[in-house]
Amino acid sequence: MNKKRLLKPDKDQEEVIKEEPSFRFHWCAVGFITCYFLSWAIPGLGFFFYIFYYFLPYCLETDNIITLFTELDPLISFLSFPLVLVFSYILHIIIAAMVTKFWYWVTEQIIPSKDGVIPRNIPSKTLNLYHIRSFILKYPKNMVMKGLFPWLFTWVFNFIGSTNYGGGTTVEEEVLGEKFVETGRDCYVSPNASLASHLVEGIFGSIFYFKIKLGNNVTIGSEVPIGPGTHLEDNSYIFPLGAALKFTENKGNYYYFGMPIRRVFTRKLKDYLQVSDEDLKKAEELAKKYQNEKSI
């Protein structure tokens, strides 16, 4: 009888194993609505106030077009329109970042983000907060990444507190990269790369949630996924179509390719880049000259 119970779980155990996570939709709705409404309402009201009380009477309703260039108020209203439009858009980004920062801070006060494996078949606060954070960060991410100023991406998420991108770091358009990432200075993440600090294994599998850390001057090529827990040291370069799997670590100061990433030997590197020994010597001389000038 005991053997049967060990081999075949009872009905209650099967229900627990197959239970779906209790996702808190109302908290996600509150976070999204407040972020979306406030980020559009405040700059929108200011913009329409400018349109109706300044731009419309002094510019659009003027009887003589010459007055747009001869009188002060019509001239200012005409020239200031694009500036007000751009300022309203930037204010929209700032307010969205501020509201998201508030909600992200609230979730961090309940249970801070930390490295670990989160089971998806067992309802928990950690699981709920993981989903809530992922949801509220999506709107500012897509707003900035697909907007007029995608270079504000690193500033926005450093301000929110979900990442720590170093100065001079550039992140191109990608699926992820908005949370649990830390980089040094002057890093470059190419288009369609993925800084995947979280990875879901299977439909009801566990969530591997580990911080990605990049050193200084790390370059990640296009179509390169970076798995959770990856640590890349200074001056690492990953060629396009490579892949750093979970918990990948390297020694830096070299070129890497393939899946999983591995070092490129000098001969393979020369063939890949189609350079000669003379070109490499010139590059070394220029690098030494640059270091000497920098030290001076």
Domain ranges of the chain: 25-269
Q: pLDDT exceeding 70 applies to what percent of the chain?
A: 87
- 275: number of CA atoms within 13 Å, CB side? 13
If we measure between CA atoms, which residue out of 166, 173, 182 comes closest to residue 113? Answer: 182
Q: Is 230 within 8 Å of 247 (Cβ atoms)?
A: yes
Q: Is 160 within 8 Å of 104 (Cβ atoms)?
A: yes
State both tokens at 21.
């996570």
Mean pLDDT is lowest, of 65-74, 161-170, 182-191, 226-235, for 65-74
The predicted pLDDT at position 201 comes to: 79
The predicted pLDDT at position 1 comes to: 42
Confidence bin at 118 (pLDDT 50/70/90): confident
Q: Can you give the length of the chain in residues?
A: 296
Q: pLDDT exceeding 90 applies to what percent of the chain?
A: 35
The predicted pLDDT at position 75 comes to: 81
State both tokens at 75.
């001239």
Q: Is 261 within 8 Å of 243 (Cβ atoms)?
A: yes
Confidence bin at 204 (pLDDT 50/70/90): low
pLDDT surpasses 60 at 22: no
- Mean pLDDT (whole number) for 230-256: 89
Pairing of strands 116-118, 207-209: antiparallel
Alpha carbon distances (Å) from 265 to 109, 189, 199, 236, 254: 48, 23, 31, 14, 9
pTM of the model: 0.77
- Mean pLDDT (whole number) for 103-123: 87
If we measure between CA atoms, which residue out of 49, 135, 149 comes closest to residue 93? Answer: 149
C-alpha of 286 from chain center: 34
Mean model confidence pLDDT for the chain = 83
Alpha carbon distances (Å) from 135 to 32, 100, 157, 176, 199: 8, 10, 14, 12, 15
DSSP-based three-state secondary structure for 280: helix
How many whole angstroms separate alpha carbon 17 and alpha carbon 184? 41
Confidence bin at 93 (pLDDT 50/70/90): very high
C-alpha of 221 from chain center: 16
If we measure between CA atoms, which residue out of 94, 101, 108 comes closest to residue 43? Answer: 94
pLDDT: which is higher, 201 or 266? 201
C-alpha of 163 from chain center: 8
Query: If 0-12 CB within 10 Å is exposed, 13-18 middle and 19+ buried, where does residue 179 land?
Result: buried
The predicted pLDDT at position 203 comes to: 67
The predicted pLDDT at position 7 comes to: 43
Confidence bin at 171 (pLDDT 50/70/90): very high
What architecture (CATH level 2) is domain 25-269? 3 Solenoid (2.160)
The predicted pLDDT at position 164 comes to: 94
pLDDT, tens digit, 9 for 90 and up, residues 121-146: 777 888 888 888 989 999 999 999 98
If we measure between CA atoms, which residue out of 207, 208, 108 comes closest to residue 161? Answer: 108
